[in-house]
Amino acid sequence: MKIAIIGGVAGGASAAARARRLSEEAEIVMFERGPDPSFANCGLPYYVGGEIAERGNLLVAPKQMLIDRHRLDVRTRQSVEAIDRQRKRLTVKDLVEGTTYEESYDKLILAPGASPLRPPIPGIDLPGIYTLRDLRDADRLHEVVQGARRAVIVGAGFIGLEMAENLVRRGIETTVVELIDQVLPPWDREMTTPIAEHLIDKGVRLVLSNSAEEFAPILPEGVTVRLKSGEELDADFVVLSVGVRPENSLATAAGLEVGPRGGIRVNEHMQTSDPDIYAVGDAVEVRDFVTGDPTQIPLAGPANRQGRIAADHIFGRPSSYRGTQGTAVVGVFDMTAAMTGLSEKALRRAGRSYEKIYLHPTQHAGYYPGAERMSLKLLFDPEDGRVLGAQAVGHAGVDKRIDVLAMAIQAGMTVFDLEEVELAYAPQFGAAKDPINMAGFIAAGVVRGDCAVVQADELPDAIDRDAAVLLDVREAEELANGQIPGAVNVPLDRLRQALGTFDRNRPFIAYCQLGQRGYLATRILTQAGFDAANLSGGYLTYCQSRGRTLAG
């Protein structure tokens, strides 16, 4: 059995190592265009910023180790130029020698990854415009940041924000330009508000709902970024991080099927339309775990698992890929944003019915020093309560809650299950009612009809006084930080006495700071026969939905 693998990073390296573990006999040839296979892709921004000081640390599985330990035939600086499916032969170009040769295969695994998008903007090919995909890119940026003063990052996704943090770490004045009206496009906008404010706090200039229309050179060195708004930003260099495109040129040239977004089509065993050719990683189209629809989600974890599955299948094992649920986390300075499953906007796009709730728990018991609040959003099926997605933003403990919810989605659990799950509690780590349980309680209350919710984004900016009564149940001293226009303040602990004075013909929307007292108020009102609903996530979510945090 001769296996050829094109691409030696996450998916390709995993496939190669797994194939060797399954067969000592197999001939395994790995082609990697760059000089280094299996480098730590996700560490590159931190190498540029200096947080990862040793370049060598990025070489997760150095070439010699792949040769010695896994007996791989590793061919770096070799580029596969064409696949002849009939003859099962590859045309390979040696990038050092400039020569070309043929190599045969029994099974072929494509793991070419995805390449950074370079939109056709005038000046896009200027020397001061960088992308960050591989070690050579990182080396170049590592050099450029030394002594640079000002940078513009185009695109506020994972890499854009990680680069922003790392450029600030280098003392560089950094502006981030983003096309849409939020940072971290995969998240829902209101959940990114704390991250946006945190970036600003750390000195990053954020330019949202704007885009680069032209790049012009500054002599002797630098780039002027002309924005759609007309503003011009001068920078020593520009980092372009506006997304990636699956590398499908080899696959399409070979006549393999490709999806509408360019991802190579594969079945659950990672086989392309040619059963002797597999494809894995950022280049493939995957099924969304929740909807089952085809999608394109470039993530390192799935790439690794897909590589393993392809190797398994080559050796007759029934492994199959379950789909990608989009579990992701990003550190942005001192904050963390994480998500799993579908976002609200993805649910809307998919036309799937859903309900949502917000909460703002601390990561561990409030009575223990160091408790910090996070914001957590849970998306679920309004009928059966199945968990569809979750997002969290905050500090410590955010990654844990999203991983726990990722498990809930994997297992097809419902919000009723979240009420009952038993998580670890000690004062430093959680709460007797963990944020996950709390999310379950709140969401289950909605599905069961115990507590109707109103969403901040449904709330008009000016409340129609004849329609709903907007009831602020916080204590009087809390109002100084702001209030929703048109609200009437009746502190929760005085609500029962006030009930007699309320107009029974009008619906009530109760709210507090975080959502908890609003819930209690809603229960009191509902039981007293009022038409009442709680503003999910309280005033804090209201503010976040309007693009500001309480600090902001």
CA gap 441, 418 in Å, rounded: 8
Is 236 or 434 the residue whose CB approaches a second copy more closely?
A: 434
User: Rule CB under 8 A: is residue 24 a binding residue for a second copy?
Assistant: yes
- Residue closer to a second copy by CB (options 67, 200) is 67
Tell me how far apart the alpha carbons of residues 504 and 60 are, in angstroms, rounded to a whole number: 67
Find the binding residues for a second copy in span 385-424 (CB under 8 A): 399-400, 402-404, 406-408, 410-413, 417, 419-424
Tokens of 134: 């591989």
Q: Judged by CB under 8 A, does residue 313 bind a second copy?
A: no
With CB under 8 A as the contact rule, which of the stretches 178-186, 210-218, 225-233, 518-526 interacts with a second copy?
518-526
**Residues of this chain, 66-95, that bind a second copy according to CB under 8 A:** 68-69, 71
Q: 3-state DSSP call for residue 537? A: coil
CB of 328 to a second copy, least distance (A): 6
Minimal distance in Å, beta carbon 511 to a second copy?
Answer: 16
Nearer of residues 432 and 462 to a second copy, judged by Cβ: 432
Query: Is there binding between residue 426 and a second copy (CB under 8 A)?
Result: yes
Interaction with a second copy in 111-170: which residues (CB under 8 A)?
158
Element (H, E) at 517: helix 516-527
Measured in Å, how far apart are the chain's first and last C-alpha atoms? Answer: 62
Kindly state the smallest distance separating residue 69's Cβ from a second copy, in Å.
5
- Using CB under 8 A as the binding rule, the residues of this chain from 365 to 384 that contact a second copy are 365-369
**Which candidate, 261, 262, 268, 240, places its Cα nearest to that of 250?**
262
List the Cα angle 70/75/77 in 5-degree steps.
140
- Interactions with a second copy, residue window 243-302 (CB under 8 A): 289, 299-302
CA-to-CA distance for 115 and 135, rounded, in angstroms? 13
Nearest to 11 by CA among 259, 288, 321: 321
Neighbours of 362 (CB within 10 A): 20
The DSSP-derived string for 224-253 is EEEETTS-EEEESEEEE-S-EEE--HHHHH
Of 257 and 450, the one with the shorter C-beta distance to a second copy is 450
CA dist 26 and 464 (Å) reads 73
Report in angstroms how near the CB of residue 316 gets to a second copy at its nearest.
13
15 is a site residue for a second copy (CB under 8 A): no
Shortest Å, Cβ 51 to a second copy: 6
Give the binding range for a second copy (CB under 8 A) out of 211-219, 332-340, 475-483, 502-510.
Answer: 332-340
Catalytic residue among 42, 451, 512, 543: 42
| Structure-token pair, residue 191 | 């959940």
DSSP string, 24-52: SS-EEEEEESSS-SSB-GGGHHHHHHTSS
Provide the mask over 485-514, with x wherever binding to a second copy is found by CB under 8 A and - wherever it is not. Answer: -------xx--x------------------
Taking CB under 8 A as the binding criterion, the range among 118-126, 225-233, 430-438, 454-462 that sits at the site for a second copy is 430-438
Among 126, 520, 531, 546, binds a second copy (CB under 8 A): 520
Q: Where are the beta strands (DSSP E) in 25-149?
A: 27-32, 73-76, 78-84, 89-94, 100-104, 107-110, 114-116, 129-130
- Residue 470's DSSP bridge partners are 509
For a second copy, which stretch binds (CB under 8 A), given 57-65, 101-109, 204-212, 230-238? 57-65
CB 427 to a second copy: min, Å = 5
DSSP 219: S
Minimum distance, C-beta of residue 276 to a second copy, in the bound complex (Å): 23
42: annotated active-site residue: yes
Count of residues touching a second copy (by CB under 8 A)? 84
Binding mask 204-243 for a second copy (x = CB under 8 A): ----------------------------------------
With CB under 8 A as the contact rule, the residue among 100, 252, 481, 527 that binds a second copy is 527
Closer residue to a second copy (CB): 254 or 404: 404
Determine the Cα–Cα distance for residues 232 and 340; give it in Å rounded to an integer: 37
> HSE (CB half, 13 Å, CA atoms) of 48?
32
Q: Catalytic positions, please?
A: 42
